[in-house]
Amino acid sequence: MRPAARKLGRTGRVGVVLLSAGLGVLSPFAVASPALAQTTNAAGSWAVPPPVDMSKLPSDEKKPDKDYQQKTACVQRSTLGNVDINYRPWGQDYLQLPKAQDIVRAKFGNVGGNQKIGVIDTGVTPHPWFGGRVQSGGVDYVAPPTNHADPSLQDCDGHGTEVAGIIAAKPDNPQVGFIGVAPDATIVSYRQLSENYGEKDQSSTGGGSSSQPNNSGQPSGGSSLPPSTSGGGGGGQPGGTNSQQDDKGDQRQLEKGGTAGTLQTLAEIIRNIADRGDIKVVNMSVDHCRAADGTIQDGEQKVQAAVKYAADRDVVVVAAAGNVSDTCPQNDQADANKPRSIVTPPWFADDVLSVGAIDRTGGVASFSVHGPWVGVAAPGTEIVSLDPAEGSTGLANLTISSGSQTSPIQGTSFASPYVAGVAALVRQMFPNLSARQVIQRIEATAQHPAAPGGRDEYVGYGVIDPVAALTANLPGDVGALATPKPMVQQAQLPPGDGQSSTPMIVALAGTGGGVLALLITLFVMHTIRRNRSTAPPSTPSR
């Protein structure tokens, strides 16, 4: 398995971080698929999943579903390719995040301070710029706790820390241009996926025993792990393989051969979060992609039941729409309702807000998987986020493949946390909204594409508009939002000019008196003339 490298910042600069396994999109077809359930969609549209079967909802076993072992050294730091740390990612300005944050801060004094956001991913390293706001979900679904105080707070792959950084990072250096969407929110980490771990190979471990890596990511005995590429600051040796992230974006995939992470444990974690009750937003930058054939797999049914279970319990479920790869073809067929590829969990659009990616131009990113299930879109290219290597205090913005070839971090994996962060702010601003109403508000206030109904299969309802989501008055808001308190409006009359009003009063009084005298005179004259005209004629004297 090949290592990759990441650019990261250290003490005022952005440098490079090394990923031992790279970042992943969807590689479904090369893997043996789980047994298919005998269920098809009666409507004949493969874009619409069959009805939910809640009997498929799994219980949370609170442990990995397979026996995994680490096979590749963890992400390490490097010092290659420094850039200024005051660079602000284009996505922050495109979404007007500073304005949105000012709106929330003015009302609450913080931005997301009372929100917990579940991150189902490769784990989250407690980077200093989280400020201690990272908690463990309490269970690790990749490996049992053996060599780390809390494996869910160890990000061997580097992916989950970058995702969580986009949601809630809060640099303590005012010169740093990067900041998370909800920088006062708390992240609850669930490690569910890893490309650095694989199912234990009994034949190669001498009867089942295997070496366990120590906290540095290097083996502590027994067989050695494949070396990790290092550009300085890490302990591995240069590797010769390519990164699993390329110009098509992040190449991470559930149910991928030789890696850890299945639909089963994804469904279990979603149920775990729903049952907790204190996590109201969850981000899943993990996907499973396969060829569309009119059926639904058993693992997919479990995830479908789990996301409905969570949505019914007031959890906003946000998921990456998925990235194109050689084994996950783009849905570019003429009939959008007959997709070539099915992506889970985005397929279950009734209960999941799936997120496509745009690039700096505002157009849909070439790697973002299309589909009628896409809900909204957000920036997914030229990503900057926290360096995931343990002990790092900087940022990451590049992936380094074989040798020194670099490419920017990109993928729908990194568009999704922008939306999850906005969902947390909407929940803070409008606490009376249900999970589905939060999703409706984000969709209704998005920048709609020029398509029938303001929606298409590329960006869904459009690119999110955080400011509008936090301020717009929408039909149906009365009753759903907090009732506004009536306010007495004080009259704002102009001040007097300071001049005396006596002359005006005298003038008006005189004028009124004159008019009255004139009226009396006219009345008297009229009366006299009338009396003369009605008197009888006098008799002449003889």
Query: How do residues 376-429 score in pLDDT, each as one tens digit?
Result: 999 999 999 999 988 888 898 887 654 566 778 999 999 999 999 999 999 999
Tokens of 480: 């759903």
Which has the minimum average pLDDT: 323-337, 413-427, 477-491? 477-491
Whether the predicted pLDDT of 520 surpasses 90 = no
Between residues 510 and 387, the one the model is more confident about: 387
pLDDT digits (tens, 9 = 90+) for 48-93: 999 999 999 999 999 998 889 898 888 877 655 555 678 899 999 9
Active site residue 121: yes
* pLDDT cut 90: percent of the chain above it: 52
Is residue 505 exposed (0-12), middle (13-18) or buried (19+ Cβ within 10 Å)? exposed
- Spatial neighbors of 349 by CB under 8 A, at least 6 apart, are 372, 373, 375
**Average confidence (pLDDT) over 92-105:** 98
Residue keyed to tokens 């079967």: 53
Check if 434 is active-site.
Answer: no
Question: Could you tell me which residues are beta bridge partners of residue 406?
Answer: 400
- Could you tell me which residue, 78 or 19, shows the higher pLDDT? 78
What is the per-residue pLDDT for 15?
43
Poorest-pLDDT segment among 17-31, 106-120, 199-213, 523-537: 17-31
**Percent helix, strand, coil in the chain (nearest 5)?**
25, 20, 55
**Which are the contacts of 436, defined by CB distance < 8 A and separation ≥ 6?**
311
The closest alpha carbon to 461, from 479, 443, 475, 478, belongs to 443
pLDDT band at 200 (very low <50, low <70, confident <90, very high): confident
Task: Examine the pLDDT at 351 and tell me if it is beyond 60.
Answer: yes
- pLDDT for the residue 489: 54
Residues above pLDDT 70, as percent of the chain = 72
- Compute the average pLDDT of residues 210-227: 31
The reported pLDDT for the residue numbered 485 is 53
Q: Catalytic residue at 288?
A: no
pLDDT of residue 254: 78
Residues 6+ apart with CB under 8 A from 368: 249, 321, 322, 323, 324, 356, 357, 358, 377, 380, 412, 415, 458
Q: Are 402 and 490 in contact (CB under 8 A)?
A: no
Q: The domain 4-471 belongs to what CATH superfamily?
A: Peptidase S8/S53 domain (3.40.50.200)
Identify the weakest region by mean pLDDT among 7-21, 196-210, 255-269, 273-287. 7-21
CB atoms within 10 A of CB 460: 30
Sequence spans of domains, the chain: 4-471
pLDDT grade, residue 238 (50/70/90)? very low
Give the Cα separation of 79 and 14 in Å (integer): 8
pLDDT, mean of residues 436-455:
96
Nearest to 179 by CA among 487, 373, 362, 418: 418
210 has pLDDT over 80 = no
pLDDT at 240: 23
Average pLDDT in the 135-151 region?
A: 78
pLDDT (0 to 100) of residue 227? 32
**pLDDT given at position 262:** 93
Q: Which of 194, 341, 413, 416 is catalytic?
A: 413
Poorest-pLDDT segment among 421-435, 474-488, 507-521: 474-488
The pLDDT value given to residue 374:
97
- Set 159, 288, 370, 448: catalytic member: 159
Which pLDDT belongs to residue 305?
Answer: 98
- pLDDT for the residue 97: 98
* pLDDT category of residue 25 using cuts at 50, 70 and 90: very low
The radius of gyration of the chain's CA atoms, rounded to the nearest angstrom, is 34
Q: What is the pLDDT of the chain when averaged over all its residues?
A: 79
From 121, 140, 155, 351, active-site residue? 121
Q: Which position has the higher pLDDT, 110 or 152?
A: 110
Check residue 207 and give its pLDDT: 34
Query: How far is it, in rounded angstroms, from Cα 181 to Cα 169?
Result: 8
Q: Which residues pair with 408 in a beta bridge?
A: 398
